[in-house]
Amino acid sequence: MDKLIRKWWWKTLAVVLMLYVVCAGLLFDVPRLVILNETIRVLHFHVPMWFGMILLLLASVVYAIKNLSNPSPKNDIYSLEFANVGVAFGVMGIVTGMIWANFTWGEPWSNDPKQNASAIGILIYFAYFILRGSIEDENTKARISAVYNIFAFAILIPLLFILPRLTDSLHPGNGGNPGFNAYDLDSKLRKVFYTAVIGWSLIGFWIATIRIRMRLVQHVTEQ
């Protein structure tokens, strides 16, 4: 991971991809779907942020497991900062989703099962940060928060991808509601959307690596 952080090519790729996503997402033609119309452009920002969140939180869990098997401040810092940026992406995903919902569903929050599940998932991770702040001993904090992190991610996945499919939901692909692929025959959306998933994920990891380096420097100076 350290070698990857120092490489520049993937950061350049992230910038290029995001420039394409912003320009294409806002300017390219989109299919004229009932109700959605121009609001479907939010797809390139709302959903990819959630993909980025899942990948960042997965990276956080990986380092939490590494920290349990091989305790070190470095592993704890990696796990913490990936979680920080992942949750930030989750919050942005909820906000952009609320903006989209306001135009398509008539209100920003309609107690849709996936909306509620997403909010619960974010609150679970807020509790993770509160837990860390409540423990003074660094070793105990790292160990307990690592265990909590693993369980938080294990709860998040069914909250987002399983439970909403078991009940009625306004979200595409959930509760019997068809997904975008079922009625979107325009490939232009896919070209921008898949690029956005990669671009937002890389941006998220870039932000996390910057925070990690800052935290590592702070840790060394405090020794």
pLDDT at 163 over 50: yes
DSSP state of 107: S
Task: Output b/e per residue, 30-60; b: 16+ Cβ within 10 A.
Answer: beeeeebeebbbbbbbbbbbbbbbbbbbebb
* More reliable by pLDDT, 3 or 49: 49
Give the pLDDT mean for 121-147.
Answer: 95
Give 29-88 pLDDT, tens digit per residue: 777 766 667 778 888 899 999 999 999 999 999 999 999 999 999 999 999 999 999 999
Domain count of the chain? 1
- How far CA 82 is from CA of 44, 60, 117, 142, 193, in Å, comes to 22, 5, 21, 14, 23
Q: Which of 55, 25, 27 is nearest to 42 (CA)?
A: 25
Q: How much is the pLDDT for 223? A: 67
The residue behind tokens 């060394």 is: 220
- Reading the block at residue 125, the tokens are 């991770």
* DSSP-derived secondary structure for 55-78: HHHHHHHHHHHHHHHS--HHHHHH
* Domain enclosing residue 176, as ranges: 2-222
Mean pLDDT of the chain: 87
pLDDT at 93 over 60: yes
Q: Contact at 8 Å (CB) between 188 and 46?
A: no
pLDDT at 182 over 50: no
Q: What is the pTM of this model?
A: 0.89
CATH number, residue 115: 1.20.120
- Reading the block at residue 142, the tokens are 């790292």
DSSP state of 20: H
